[in-house]
């Protein structure tokens, strides 16, 4: 006889999700988890396929009839073209070493955010459509066919990967899951499925040179505005030069720092540093044409990355500079450090960068001829070329967020820390498994720093915020410094949600706070117009002194008045006494007469 379940067992509701394999659990498109679809006007500007109005939330994505053919043909082409891609499709043994290293998985708990599974979304199509075992055995061999639902799932999850490469660090085979995402996005692009936050900036950048679509006069005007602000704070008006032919160095930085707080303070920091160095022999120009260091084309396709990158060397050649100095940016450095000199041969006019101030030859940049501003500044400090007053940053307890790309794509760990330690008195690192090569992403890289997926960003950025919270609780950290414009845009809301007591800054904002310019007026505030703590103390002291002086004066006056009063009183008393004596004498006389 079969066992009858007790009423208690029967009435028990199971709270867990159903136990189904990942292939049988299609992606559920939830608001706040997907980005707005790309707009037809931007498709037209940059020649992306399939321009139409659409939304990832729609049932019908308006794909061309032969969409499957286009996708598979694109995949075949890339399997042939990129040896890495084919290897990455073949060799994963699903050991799971990468599984729990992704910030999106850690924060969301969605298994398809495990790097291994995210890659498996595409790998299963590779097996099912391109390998014999997969074609015959299907699911048994981990293969599946490309369907409309599967295509949508690829979109959903490839735009939930920030290409930060933390997972690749732990893969025993060295599989770079970010590269799988990059190819996955390329394939989606073949059918015109990209996001507005990427295609918009790409189209802008293609037209005007920067992601925000700002034209040269406005770019120039913004920097002038910063110079005026610097004058208010320091009494000195820097005069940066633009598009100047014959300059030795071309400076390129992400446009986000020119328009959005708190990156703007970092931008002011660059201007002040360059002004300081002019007297020491710096010959540098900004460009209103190469007005963007970032490259959202990199989040679209290799070809688009190359197209947007073209302006850097072109402008360097046009101006005839010797080398390029690059600002604090993240993915810009991955593109410049790892792709630029294979995209193009550097112009003949460029030379191996040499610091005009210290004479240091930057051998690490001999191929692409571009130096990171942290390398440049750290070298200046090392040679004692900067007059610094770190106490001006005393209101901050600083920690440093290693931005994914400078950390994992160029190994830039020590220079920013060296700088911060020289311009600030209070610095503490976050725990080792959350920094340097193991750094956690801000949750908004690779074009995912758009506001409609704030939920996704909050959970993706949670592991980073958690480590910041730890140093905030333990060491009183109140400032998170970083060297990436996307970080400076995404970390402020992340901090507001998880650790509201912590602010965000770039490294060169802190440099400029500490930098003592020749002939500057007495500074009372930092670049954010926050008063230095001693200003109030000094004011109080001055007030106290003034009070003491007035008290002394009052005391003196009072003493004089008292003396006078005493003297008057004594006189009066003497007079009275004399009168009394006289009266008494008169009375005595009268009595005597009686």
Partner 1 sequence: MALKQLLEENKSVILSRWFDTILETYPVDTQHFLRSKKNQFDNPVARRISDGIEGIFSQILNDDEEKDVSPFLDKVIRIRAVQDFAPSRAVAFMFDLKRLVREVLGKAIRELQLSEELGRFEEAIDKMGLLALDIYMKCREEIYELRVNEVKRSVSRLIERANKICGIPGKEGDPEVCSTDNLT
Residue numbers at the binding site for partner 1 (CB under 8 A)? 15-17, 19, 22, 30, 32-33, 99-100, 105-111, 114, 218, 221-222, 225, 258-261, 264, 431, 433-434, 451-452, 454-456, 458-459, 462-463, 466-467, 470, 489, 492-493, 496-498, 529
Whichever of 470 and 534 has its CB closer to partner 1, that residue is 470
Whichever of 323 and 462 has its CB closer to partner 1, that residue is 462
Burial degree of 541 (CB within 10 A; 0-12, 13-18, 19+): exposed
Name the minimum Å distance from CB 225 to partner 1: 5
Q: Is 578 helix (H, G, I), strand (E, B) or coil?
A: helix
Whichever of 72 and 106 has its CB closer to partner 1, that residue is 106
535: Cα within 13 Å, side-chain hemisphere: 12
Residues 6+ apart with CB under 8 A from 502: 468, 472, 477, 478, 479, 480, 495
Name the minimum Å distance from CB 24 to partner 1: 12
Whichever of 54 and 105 has its CB closer to partner 1, that residue is 105
Whichever of 99 and 314 has its CB closer to partner 1, that residue is 99
Alpha carbon of 163 to those of 10, 115, 178, 340: distances in Å? 46, 10, 4, 18
Name the β-bridge partners of 427: 398
Name the minimum Å distance from CB 455 to partner 1: 5
Contact 392, 514 (CB under 8 A): yes
401: which 2 tokens?
A: 């967020």
Whichever of 214 and 370 has its CB closer to partner 1, that residue is 214
Q: What is the DSSP letter of 286?
A: E
Whichever of 79 and 106 has its CB closer to partner 1, that residue is 106
Distance CA 188, CA 195 (A): 10
Name the minimum Å distance from CB 496 to partner 1: 6
Name the minimum Å distance from CB 559 to partner 1: 48
Whichever of 283 and 452 has its CB closer to partner 1, that residue is 452
Contact 591, 585 (CB under 8 A): no
Residues 6+ apart with CB under 8 A from 193: 37, 38, 50, 61, 63, 155
Name the minimum Å distance from CB 80 to partner 1: 33
Name the minimum Å distance from CB 16 to partner 1: 4
Helix H or strand E encompassing 252: strand 249-252
Name the minimum Å distance from CB 82 to partner 1: 29
212: which 2 tokens?
A: 């925000």
Whichever of 100 and 575 has its CB closer to partner 1, that residue is 100
Whichever of 366 and 474 has its CB closer to partner 1, that residue is 474
Q: C-alpha dihedral over 213, 215, 219, 222, to 10 degrees?
A: -90
Residues 6+ apart with CB under 8 A from 86: 79, 80
336: which 2 tokens?
A: 């410049």
Contact 452, 29 (CB under 8 A): no
Closest by CA to 294, choosing from 365, 353, 212, 366, is 212
Name the minimum Å distance from CB 101 to partner 1: 8
At CB < 8 A and 24+ separation, what contacts does 141-149 make? 144/23, 146/68, 146/71, 146/72, 148/63, 149/26
Name the minimum Å distance from CB 12 to partner 1: 9
Alpha carbon of 258 to those of 263, 292, 320, 571: distances in Å? 7, 10, 25, 80
Name the minimum Å distance from CB 34 to partner 1: 13
Whichever of 192 and 327 has its CB closer to partner 1, that residue is 327
Contact 22, 111 (CB under 8 A): yes
Whichever of 290 and 491 has its CB closer to partner 1, that residue is 491
Name the minimum Å distance from CB 262 to partner 1: 8
570: which 2 tokens?
A: 């004594």
Q: Computed over its alpha carbons, how large is the radius of gyration of the chain? A: 35
Whichever of 214 and 324 has its CB closer to partner 1, that residue is 214
Name the minimum Å distance from CB 224 to partner 1: 9
Distance CA 216, CA 208 (A): 8
Closest by CA to 442, choosing from 431, 456, 426, is 456
């Amino acid at each position: 006889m079969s066992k009858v379940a007790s009423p208690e067992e029967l009435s028990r509701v199971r709270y867990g999700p159903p136990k189904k394999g990942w292939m049988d659990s299609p992606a559920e498109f939830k608001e706040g988890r997907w980005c707005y679809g790309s707009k037809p006007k931007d498709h037209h500007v940059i020649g992306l396929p399939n321009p139409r109005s659409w939304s990832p939330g729609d049932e019908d994505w308006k794909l061309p009839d032969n969409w499957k053919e286009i996708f598979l043909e694109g995949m075949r082409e890339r399997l042939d073209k990129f040896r890495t891609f084919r290897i990455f499709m073949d060799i994963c043994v699903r050991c799971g070493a990468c599984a729990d290293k992704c910030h999106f998985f850690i924060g969301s708990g969605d298994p398809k955010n495990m790097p291994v599974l995210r890659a498996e979304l595409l790998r299963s199509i590779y097996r099912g459509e391109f390998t014999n075992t997969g074609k015959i055995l299907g699911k048994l061999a981990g293969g599946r066919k490309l369907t409309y639902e599967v295509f949508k799932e690829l979109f959903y999850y490839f735009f939930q990967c920030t290409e930060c490469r933390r997972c690749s660090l732990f893969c025993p085979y060295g599989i770079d899951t970010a590269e799988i995402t990059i190819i996955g996005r390329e394939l989606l692009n073949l059918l015109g499925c990209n996001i507005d936050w990427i295609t918009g900036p790409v189209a802008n950048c293609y037209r005007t040179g920067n992601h925000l679509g700002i034209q040269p006069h406005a770019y120039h005007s913004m920097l002038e505005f910063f110079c005026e602000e610097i004058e208010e704070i320091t009494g000195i008006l820097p005069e940066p030069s633009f598009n100047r032919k014959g300059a030795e160095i071309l400076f390129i930085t992400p446009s986000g720092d020119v328009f959005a707080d708190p990156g703007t303070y970092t931008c002011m920091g660059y201007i002040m540093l360059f002004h300081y160095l002019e007297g020491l022999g710096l010959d540098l120009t900004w460009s209103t044409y190469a007005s963007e260091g970032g490259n959202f084309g990199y989040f679209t396709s290799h070809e688009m990355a190359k197209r947007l990158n073209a302006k850097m060397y072109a402008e360097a050649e046009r101006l005839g500079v010797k080398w390029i100095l690059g600002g604090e940016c993240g993915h810009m450095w991955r593109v410049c450090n790892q792709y630029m000199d294979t995209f193009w041969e550097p112009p003949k006019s460029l030379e191996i960068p040499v610091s005009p101030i210290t004479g240091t030859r930057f051998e690490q940049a001999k191929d692409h001829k571009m130096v990171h501003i942290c390398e440049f500044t750290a070298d200046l400090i090392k040679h004692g070329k900067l007059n610094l007053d770190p106490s001006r940053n005393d209101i901050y307890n600083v920690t440093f967020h290693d931005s994914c790309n400078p950390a994992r794509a160029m190994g830039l760990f020590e220079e920013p820390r060296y700088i911060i330690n020289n311009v600030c008195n209070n610095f503490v690192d976050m725990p080792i498994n959350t920094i340097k090569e193991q750094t956690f992403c801000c949750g908004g890289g690779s074009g995912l720093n758009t506001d409609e997926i704030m939920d996704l960003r909050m959970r993706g950025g949670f592991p980073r915020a958690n480590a910041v919270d730890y140093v905030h609780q333990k060491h009183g950290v109140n400032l998170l410094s970083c060297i990436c414009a996307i970080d400076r845009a995404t970390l402020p809301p992340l901090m507001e949600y998880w650790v509201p007591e912590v602010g965000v800054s770039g490294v060169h904002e802190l440099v400029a706070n500490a930098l003592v310019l020749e002939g500057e007026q007495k500074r009372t505030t930092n670049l954010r117009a926050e008063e230095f703590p001693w200003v109030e103390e000094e004011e109080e002291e001055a007030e106290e002194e003034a009070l003491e002086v007035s008290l002394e004066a009052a005391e003196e006056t009072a003493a004089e008045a008292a003396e006078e009063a005493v003297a008057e009183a004594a006189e009066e008393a003497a007079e009275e006494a004399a009168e009394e004596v006289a009266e008494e004498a008169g009375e005595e006389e009268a009595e005597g007469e009686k």
